[in-house]
Structure 1
Amino acid sequence: MSINNKIIQNFKELIPKLHKGLHKGQSGRIGIIGGSRDYSGAPYFSSMSCLRAGADLTYLLTTTSASPTIKAYSPELIVLPILDDPCYESEVQSLMKKFHSLIIGPGLGRTDAAFENIKIAIKHARSQNIPIVIDADGIYLLASDTSHISGYEKCILTPNFMEFKRLYEKSFKNEEYDEESKFNTLEAQCEAVKRLAQRLENVTILKKGQIDVISDGKHVICNDLEGSLKRCGGIGDLLTGILGLFSYWCDLDKSKESKTEEIPSNIVACYSASVFIRECSKIAFSKYHRAFLAVDVIEEIAQTFYQMFDKK
């Protein structure tokens, strides 16, 4: 059995079993910081993918201006308009005590206020020792000062090409990241992801692309499985939501890591989420072709999860 298949098999064993004795929230209470006046769809996609994949509750921390729009998308969403609240830090500190993991970035915007908010959130998430998944605007803002995440091994970054390029060039100031020259091979790209993860003191990076590359600075694994041929908006947000949940499940019982030849829980979570969202996207694309949208992927999550992970 390949290491890739072993990781998926290991992940199956880490998924909490459903039984009559469960209480609301035990399968996952996931915090999401995102959304702004101009971007309300991204945090919705992250929330719904997280819920459809098996989380019990998501808490979406957003701005007052974005809150009514996001609330109108679905009654399943718990939307807390606290990002511009004067009591933000005390509220976040209290919320972190109930969250099993934290997602930062979808639709957040790039304002100075947003940067201050995520610095505060990261501080309190780290104090609770919970997994943190950072995407999109969260990565953009932190690229200028990575000290807030450096050395936190439960942190996962999910950059696309441009986000990775900016983060890499900010971290290695005299080196340009160019996939048409120096980094034009998969081997070189893997080495770049590994090197950046090392520079960030073993934060895990899932670099999205035609082939997803994952590294924590020690291990490197790739996912080249087929997904959708169309690159519409929102798929990265769906991945972020799923990864926020999977990182919590993989963090529940680290004693099982040995079954993947000591592959860390973050690598298991990243690879499993990458494989899963590609399978959902492939199925949705086969139905809708050029009309394929992120909402179509959400509709495939339930059955795909059952077929991949729950079916005996």
Structure 2
Amino acid sequence: MAGKPLTLSLVKKFIPSRKAKSRKGENGIVLIVGGSYIYHGAPILSSIAALRCGTDLVYTAVPKINVSATRSVSPNLIVIPLVDQKLTRGAVNKLIGALPRNLDSATIGMGLAVQDKNALLLLIQSLLDRDVRLSLDASALIPEVLPLLADKNVVVTPHAGEFKRLFGIAPPNSKKERISLVEKCAKENGITVLLKGATDVISDGKTTFLNEKKTPGMTVGGTGDVLSGLVAGMLSKNRKPLESAAAATFINGLAGKATQKKLGLHMTSMDLLENLASVMKPFDKIV
């Protein structure tokens, strides 16, 4: 099947209206799990992106060595320390005990150092058991997670290298073949796949969307972390993973275009965050 290009009018349908009398928490509660000794910035970018997405509350779980740095970036983040430097079963068990019961969505993996892959599987299964919608990226994209995800509300957001690690096959350069492979992997595993690239391919195996960005400035580190936060933010308000992933990549692309127009090829992911609010305003609906 051929992919359908994403448009402003189409994406508007994927972003729910906000009730004029809504209260804190009713517009999404998100968990971000990521970070390591080297990559302290990744979960910060994801967390701020989720907030800019219009999410009410974001809990950011990072290794305890990263807590001070994370808190210092923004007073808007609710930071939960992971008790170990890497993801361990002990860290997961304590995190699960510390989480609010009314989580809507989570994104896992950005910059995350995983010591025990069974700890990652435990975290994913525990969140799915609570009916939390998931976005998985980076370190969370290992083949062992796939059996847990079938027919759940899950989005995976690999780049080409992560796609090969997750599914065992590298995406071809041909756009047609690339689309076909994404559709096949999504259908076989019962998940929504968002393959990142110059043209993002988003599919649940039945419907496929394409988002052509034409923004080479977005190769800078961290733009994928911003996307992960946007996916989780969208999932917190829209239970349909395909629509949430499509909306997130479209918004991310719009912010990238706006940032590149302003700064050329000299942008950073923090610049991208600063443009999210302005590009999202046309999607605001209050009822």
Give SS of 1:16's match.
Answer: coil
Q: Counterpart of 1:284?
A: 259
**After superposition, what is the alpha-carbon deviation per residue over 1:61-111, rounded to whole angstroms, capped at 9, x for unaligned?**
121112122111111111111353847415415526221101101110243
SS in 2 for 1:111: coil
Name the count of aligned residue pairs: 279
Shift of 1:302: 1.0
SS in 2 for 1:106: coil
> How many Å separate the matches in 2 of 1:274 and 1:190?
16
**In structure 1, what is the Cα distance between the partners aligned to 2:251 and 2:6?**
13
Q: Output the CA distance in 2 between the equivalents of 1:27 and 1:83.
A: 29
Q: For residues 69 and 10 of structure 2, what CA distance do their matches in structure 1 show?
A: 39
Higher strand share: 2
Match of 2:187 among 188, 198, 201: 198
Tell me the residue number matched to 2:23: 23
Secondary structure of 1:195 counterpart: helix
Residues 217, 266 of structure 2: 8 Å contact kept: no
Describe the shift of the 1:81–1:228 C-alpha distance in structure 2 as closer, same or farther (beyond 3 A).
same
In structure 1, the partner of 2:11 is 8
Aligned partner of 2:176 among 168, 181, 187 = 187
Residue pair 1:102, 1:131 contacting (<8 A) in 2 also: yes
CA distance in 2, matches of 1:65, 1:116: 22
TM-score, normalised to structure 1, is 0.82
Long gaps (5+) in structure 1: 170-175, 252-264
AA aligned to 1:190 is: I
d(CA) in 1 for partners of 2:100, 2:118: 17
Which of 218, 243, 268 is the aligned partner of 1:293?
Answer: 268
Q: For residues 187 and 273 of structure 1, do their structure 2 counterparts lie closer, same or farther at Cα, with a shift above 3 Å needed? A: same
Supply the RMSD in Å over aligned alpha carbons. 2.3
C-alpha distance 88-224 of structure 1, shift in aligned 2 (>3 A): closer
Aligned partner letter, 2:106: L
Given the alignment of the two structures, is residue 274 of structure 1 paired with residue 273 of structure 2, yes or no?
no
Q: Which amino acid aligns with 1:108?
A: L
Q: Distance in 1 between matches of 2:285 and 2:214?
A: 22
Equivalent runs, 1:24-173 vs 2, <5 Å:
24-84=24-84, 86=90, 88-89=92-93, 91-93=95-97, 95=99, 97-112=101-116, 115-139=117-141, 142-143=142-143, 145-169=144-168
Compare CA radii of gyration and give the structure with the larger one. 1
Partner amino acid for 1:192?
A: L
Residue from 229, 232, 247 that aligns with 1:244: 232
Distance 1:61 1:27, change over 3 A: same
Amino acid at match of 1:153: K
- 1:235 and 1:87 map into 2 onto residues whose CA distance is 27
- Tell me if 1:218 matches 2:187: no
Structure 1 residue 245: Cα displacement: 1.0
Q: What SS class does the counterpart of residue 229 from structure 1 fall into? A: helix
How does the TM-score come out when normalised to structure 2?
0.89
C-alpha contact (below 8 Å) 2:47/2:58 kept by paired residues: yes
Q: What is the alpha-carbon distance in structure 2 between the residues aligned to residue 73 and residue 117 of structure 1?
A: 28
Partners of 1:228 and 1:281 within 8 A in 2: no
**AA of the residue aligned to 2:188:** R
Runs of 4+ more than 2 Å apart: 2-7, 82-88, 115-118, 146-150, 225-230, 307-311
Do structure 1's residue 302 and structure 2's residue 282 form an aligned pair?
no
